[in-house]
Amino acid sequence: MAEHFTLRSYGRTKTRCILYYLGAQVSGTGSVRDVSVGGWRVIGDHPVTVGTTLSLRIFLPTSPDPVQVESATVQWVNGREFGLSVTAMPEASLSAIKAFLNSALEKPSECARTEEPSEEP
């Protein structure tokens, strides 16, 4: 077992959603691979570093409008893949993410299918 093992406070749901991210030194497009109320696993087209704060726009298959996240911090990086921990988001965004997670529990196959960008990030 890893030395820094901790239990997540929220379960994660596998998905493939498009995400745009913006920070002080970086902007990029990515694909969300799993999601929870507290964070995401992303594969991005521009590298990030641990500790970077990003704002996000996520396109969930259950929401007609993109979900805005004011602030998320990069927790780990492995090549183009990275983990984000949400630090601030509007209540409407939290509600949209919770609705997505509830929908994923009811109909997992529908929530896992979204269109990918034409080029793999």
> Tell me: the pLDDT tens digits for 72-85?
999 999 999 999 99
Q: How far is CA 25 from the centre of its chain?
A: 19
Whose tokens are 């492995």? That residue is 78
C-alpha–C-alpha distance, residues 64 and 78, integer Å: 31
C-alpha–C-alpha distance, residues 58 and 29, integer Å: 10
C-beta of residue 73 within 8 angstroms of C-beta of residue 49: no
CATH number of the structural domain 13-106: 2.40.10.220
| Model confidence pLDDT, tens digit, residues 29-75 | 999 888 877 888 999 999 999 999 999 999 988 888 899 999 999 99
User: pTM of the entire structure?
Assistant: 0.75
| Model confidence pLDDT, tens digit, residues 28-38 | 999 988 887 78
